[in-house]
Structure 1
Amino acid sequence: MSAAESGDAPHGGRYGESVFRPEQAGEDERIDFGALAYDDITMARLRALGVGPGWDCLDVGAGTGTVSRRLLEEAGVASVLAVDRDVRFLEARRIPGLRVLEADVTAPGSVPGRFRLVHARFVLMHLPERERLVCALAELVAPGGVLVLSDAVDLTNERTPATPYSAAMRAMWEGLRATIGTDVSWVPSCPHLLRDAGLVSVAAEVHVPPLLPGGPLSRFWADTWERSRAAMLATGLVDDAGVDAAVRYLGSDECAALSAGMLTAWGRRPEADSP
């Protein structure tokens, strides 16, 4: 998960500046809670796509670098270039084979070269011009390589039972949309965007890790709400008492809810690009 990968939102806010600031104490721990919930899923998909020895990899919005390091230590890839707008967490945990680049992927030409794997998780949902960026990331994939994109899908709807959790999640999505431009409504269209970008063998899957009292995903959402509390309150959908109630609900045996899911879509660049 990105520590600070973002572009301008409709109201000028940016991930890592308006909310989720990397200099705020505990931000790396919040990111790591999400990694504990999703890294095994991500790594299983990457291994199934053949990622392994000899691969040169690009990890966009690498956050604390958990996926980057696992690619090196477990998958045995040749190298990983980990990119983020703020690389303090990556530098603090650098290992052999891990290259670090501080860059904004929304800027053309910010990442040099081509890679057999290009991976970005929970990045595009926070960025404007997503269709352009999917095409830009696809251009970084070497012939025969794969682009793997993961973002959140909101599983709540008008029939979702009214609980402190569902109220907080609605307020969070609305607050982040207004503050930094976060939008997950487009995520189910990601496979089509990969096809439009010229990739083949496109497919997708959705995973929803369980919300368990004291579990990493529950702790991730509780920390996320605390750090986006002002944006949530500004929506008028919850008040301070409502956010506090949602945090308590996550930590209780009464919790019976679905987390946001993670949709992962992938596609392969043909071995020989068309002239």
Structure 2
Amino acid sequence: MDQDEGYLLDNRQAEAGTRFDALSALFDTSTFRHFASAGVAEGWRCWEVGAGGPSVAAWLRERVGPGGRVLATDIDVSWTGTAATEGVEVLRHDVGRDAPPPGPFDLVHARLVLVHVTERDAALRAMIHALRPGGLLLVEDADPALQPLICPDEHGPEQERANRLRTGFRELLRQRGADLSYGRRLPRLLREAGLVDVEADAYFPITSPACDVLEAATVRQVRDKLVAAGLATDEEIDGHLAAVEAGRLDLATSPMISAWGRRPTGDGSQSAQPPRPSR
């Protein structure tokens, strides 16, 4: 996903692929439901921002067909070999700092991106600028502050330890510039940016095998940083990973806020852009 060089969960680490697969298992169904409701269809031009794993771009590529376009961007495109071979355009791009890619686009989508991007206001403006009049922006971001517990049912010492480690992980995120209450502000931000027909909803699982996989991969990925910052000990982390892998914890995710809106059709700012492809 798009982020500056301080991004805590580096896509180049060994655990990144496991995290991508778990996030896909947890959230793709909700994301694809929003795409279907928006009417994504043959011939659409789509920009997938901070793509991370390839599943969303692949779904869009299949839906828009040969007459459409899917562009997937990220600051680290090491995951993109499969996506590129399946007809998805791939571009290394920092959405908070670089000019938007040539458009316009019928759909711009970002999932779990802006919460981490320190230049998130600029990133949001760039995504909106890339839309055609009437085009749809869908932004999906976690709001860890809205529901801060990874074990909402904190009924014993293992659950208490899991929540302490999650607090430490979120402290590391804050130190890297993440905005842990960003998701709830998305509807207002989209309206203030001039989008119309703005709506939003929220989704998060509270028990899932994919939650266990995601937690184990995440903890392993940030283990050294947690210990170095004095936020956890190796013994605590080992005990937590053992409890996760034994399936003794009902693990949740942060609420995923999905907010969407359309660029007004009467602004005329993209009238000089290429016409939409034939369908």
Shorter-chain TM range is 0.7 to 0.9
CA shift for structure 1 position 205: 0.9
User: Letter of the aligned partner of 2:168 in structure 1?
Assistant: A
Query: Structure 2 CA distance, aligned partners of 1:75 and 1:219?
Result: 31
Matched, 1:66 2:55: yes
CA shift for structure 1 position 33: 1.6
Residues 271 and 97 (structure 1), Cα distance of their counterparts in 2 relative to 1, 3 Å cut: farther
Q: Which residue number corresponds to residue 239 of structure 1? A: 233
- Mapping of residues 27-66 of structure 1, within 5 Å: 27-66=16-55
Higher radius of gyration, 1 or 2: 2
CA shift for structure 1 position 78: 1.4
Among candidates 210, 213, 220, match of residue 214 of structure 2: 220
User: Letter of the aligned partner of 1:237 in structure 2?
Assistant: L
Query: Structure 1 CA distance, aligned partners of 2:71 and 2:58?
Result: 10
Q: CA offsets per residue over residues 129-182 of structure 1, 9 Å max, x none?
A: 32232122111111111101111122126x96362221121111101222x222
CA shift for structure 1 position 253: 4.3
Ranges in structure 1 where 5+ consecutive residues have no aligned partner: 8-12
Moved more, 144-153 or 110-119: 110-119
Ranges in structure 2 where 5+ consecutive residues have no aligned partner: 270-279
Q: Which residue number corresponds to residue 147 of structure 1? A: 137
Q: CA offsets per residue over residues 220-258 of structure 1, 9 Å max, x none?
A: 121011111133234433222222222233334431343
SS in 2 for 1:228: helix
User: Letter of the aligned partner of 1:248 in structure 2?
Assistant: A
Query: Structure 2 CA distance, aligned partners of 1:256 and 1:32?
Result: 19
Query: Structure 1 CA distance, aligned partners of 2:247 and 2:6?
Result: 35
Query: Structure 1 CA distance, aligned partners of 2:45 and 2:75?
Result: 21
Q: Which residue number corresponds to residue 106 of structure 1? A: 96
RMSD: 2.2
Q: TM-score, normalised by structure 1?
A: 0.86
Among candidates 55, 77, 93, match of residue 87 of structure 1: 77
Among candidates 115, 120, 126, match of residue 125 of structure 1: 115
Aligned residues: 260
Q: Which residue number corresponds to residue 164 of structure 1? A: 161
Confirm or deny: 8 A CA contact 1:47 1:75 kept in the other structure. Answer: no
Confirm or deny: 8 A CA contact 1:211 1:257 kept in the other structure. Answer: yes
Residues 48 and 271 (structure 1), Cα distance of their counterparts in 2 relative to 1, 3 Å cut: same
Confirm or deny: 8 A CA contact 2:142 2:183 kept in the other structure. Answer: yes
Residues 253 and 21 (structure 1), Cα distance of their counterparts in 2 relative to 1, 3 Å cut: closer
Seq. identity, %:
32
